[in-house]
Amino acid sequence: MDVFRRPFAAALILVGLVSVPAADAQTQSPAPPEQAQSSPPEQAQPSITDQKLDQTAAAIKRVASVKQDYQQRIAAAAPSEKERIVEEGRKELAKAVTDQGLSIGEYDAILGVAQKDPDVLQKLKQRISPSVK
């Protein structure tokens, strides 16, 4: 369950930042970009390729869509169906990320870096919503 709460939260923070940049003030406090110590080792390097950023942006959009869909389905479901729908939603979330060519670990790591590195965050925002300036 924790595996999917982190991508949800981070993706929604990033999607929300596209329209409300001030909302990120708390997550970008004094940690320099080099200190991505909490990220898994596979993406701990400070430089993330454009391809990975493109994949992450596409995954963020898909994760946000899946989350919205499943929140509505869970809200409308009978109590006896909710757990089944939650499990189905978890699988769809994982698929939303892996269909973009990323592992869950890579996705989490890139989102973690984006929360600490304003340059990476800006690059993701541009990919998520190119019309926002």
- Domain assignment present for 65: yes
pLDDT tens-digit series, residues 75-96 = 999 999 999 999 999 999 999 9
Per-residue pLDDT band for 129 (boundaries 50, 70, 90) equals: confident
The whole-model pTM stands at 0.66
Position 133 in a domain: no
Within a domain: residue 35? no
Question: Over the stretch 22-74, which tens digit does the pLDDT of each residue have?
Answer: 333 333 333 333 444 444 444 444 589 999 999 999 999 999 999 999 999 99
More confident residue, 9 or 97: 97
CB contact burial 108-125 (16+ within 10 A = b; e otherwise): bbbbbbbbbbeebbebbb
Domain count, the chain: 1
Q: How many helices (H) and strands (E) does the chain have?
A: 5, 0
Residue 14 scores a pLDDT above 90? no
Decide if 121 is inside a domain: yes
36 in a domain, yes or no?
Answer: no
Distance CA 129, CA 133 (A): 9
Taken in order 33, 133, 108, 103, the sign of the CA dihedral is negative
Provide the domain limits for residue 9.
2-19+49-128
The answer to whether position 37 is within a domain reads: no
Does any domain span residue 31?
no
pLDDT tens profile 91-113: 999 999 999 999 999 999 999 99
